[in-house]
Amino acid sequence: METTFKKLIKEKIPERIIITGCGTSWHAGLIGKYIIEDILKIPVEVEYASELRYRKPVLNKKTILIAISQSGETADTIGVIRELKGKCKIYSICNVEKSTIARESDFVLFTQAGPEIGVASTKSFTSQILILYLFSLSFLFKKGELKKEIFYKRCYEVLKVKEKMESFFQKNNIEEIADILINKTNALYLGKGINFPVALEGALKLKEVSYIHAEGYPSAEMKHGPIALIDENMPVIFICMEDRHLKKVISNMEEVKTRKGYIISICDFISDEIKRLSNKILSVPHIENEYLKPLLSSLPLQLLAYYVAKKKGLDVDKPRNLAKSVTVE
Ligand code: M6R
């Protein structure tokens, strides 16, 4: 990994980035947009591979494409790479070393998450986020805007996340919350800023393995439609982390509470307000660095989907109609 990042800082700093992928990898790309634009101040667009491959994006040599894929064999993502090859530099973030995407890219950042057996993408999601963060730090360092000591400090924080994840696995109340969801037919996942794509990913996980219809939305966007769905039968899962958006998210929780929605809060900070508004709280370890928060907030969402599916007697590793890699269009 260290050598890859040493090689990366020899690369030219791009002026514009297009990120592409499908499903969970696309969600990681959305998180990457927040991180890269915030840290590097480089404009980032995130595109579904299945759409981008049939468009004619405006590109130049200062644009790079980052294709994200766990398997490295997703047909639509390969389609984009083949379409754009030679028109801009192709980077990929990939988990499988001997894969088509790794082979056909100009530069590969391997997630090294280990083989993923279950169809639902889990550890590769968190690893993709981590790589996007390290990508941003590496280029910031290259730009001369990050001192070596701070770079090392940031890397140390990343190592700390592992301990926090382990402590979360040892103690949590997810099974109790899964019991609430098993008889539901719908769920709404809401988050703001970097937590919006986390909400999308939480909803995808629940749909995929437990067959409960779930939607992810930016929390403030709820009042432009989904609010009509809210009543005492609608579980609303808020990703409510201590960050610059907390106040706004709490006001969205108030709106749901007023309509008698059943609020499950995933938070790394519990205030009296959050206690008053939430029917259930799922607390995750706190980390100061906001770019690393999705690594912690996505864990309970993955586990929640897992327990709901297990309690419904479903095969968590092999959900119906899905394949581990989608090699057809
Ligand atoms: O292997 P990839 O990351 O390219 O796969 C992309 C999607 O097919 C994949 O993330 C899919 O959405 C997962 N089943 C989600 O858990």
Domain borders along the chain are: 2-146, 172-311
**What is the distance in A from the centroid of ligand 1 to the CA of 72?**
10
CATH classification code of 172-311: 3.40.50.10490
CB 76 within 8 Å of CB 49 = yes
Ramachandran category for residue 190: left, alpha or beta (phi over 0 → left; psi -120 to 50 → alpha)? beta
**Tell me: domain 2-146, CATH 3.40.50.720, correct?**
no
CA atoms lying within 13 Å on the CB side of residue 129: 28
- pLDDT on residue 8: 86
Q: Is the pLDDT of residue 171 over 90?
A: no
Distance between CA atoms of 46 and 66, rounded to whole angstroms?
9
Mutate to test the pocket of ligand 1, among 20, 26, 74 (most ligand atoms within 8 A of CB): 74
Same topology, domains 2-146 and 172-311? Answer is: yes
The pocket around ligand 1, CB under 6 angstroms, is made up of 22-25, 69-71, 74, 77, 119-121, 204, 208, 322, 325-326
- pLDDT on residue 9: 84
Mutate to test the pocket of ligand 1, among 121, 128, 315, 325 (most ligand atoms within 8 A of CB): 121
- Dump pLDDT digits (tens) for 310-329: 999 998 888 887 877 778 77
Mean pLDDT value across residues 54-75: 93
- pLDDT on residue 211: 95
**What is the distance in A from the centroid of ligand 1 to the CA of 141?**
31
**What is the distance in A from the centroid of ligand 1 to the CA of 325?**
7
Mean pLDDT value across residues 151-170: 90
- pLDDT on residue 5: 79
Distance between CA atoms of 78 and 317, rounded to whole angstroms?
25
Q: Whose CA is nearest to atom 4 of ligand 1?
A: 69
Q: What is the pTM of this model?
A: 0.95
**What is the distance in A from the centroid of ligand 1 to the CA of 70?**
7
Distance between CA atoms of 2 and 7, rounded to whole angstroms?
9
Q: Given pLDDT bands bounded at 50, 70 and 90, which one contains residue 218? A: very high
- pLDDT on residue 2: 63
Q: Whose CA is nearest to atom 11 of ligand 1?
A: 23
Q: What angle do CA 35, 38, 43 make, to 5 degrees?
A: 90
Mutate to test the pocket of ligand 1, among 22, 30, 96 (most ligand atoms within 8 A of CB): 22
- Dump pLDDT digits (tens) for 104-149: 999 999 999 998 888 889 999 999 999 999 999 999 999 999 998 9
Q: What is the mean pLDDT of the chain?
A: 93
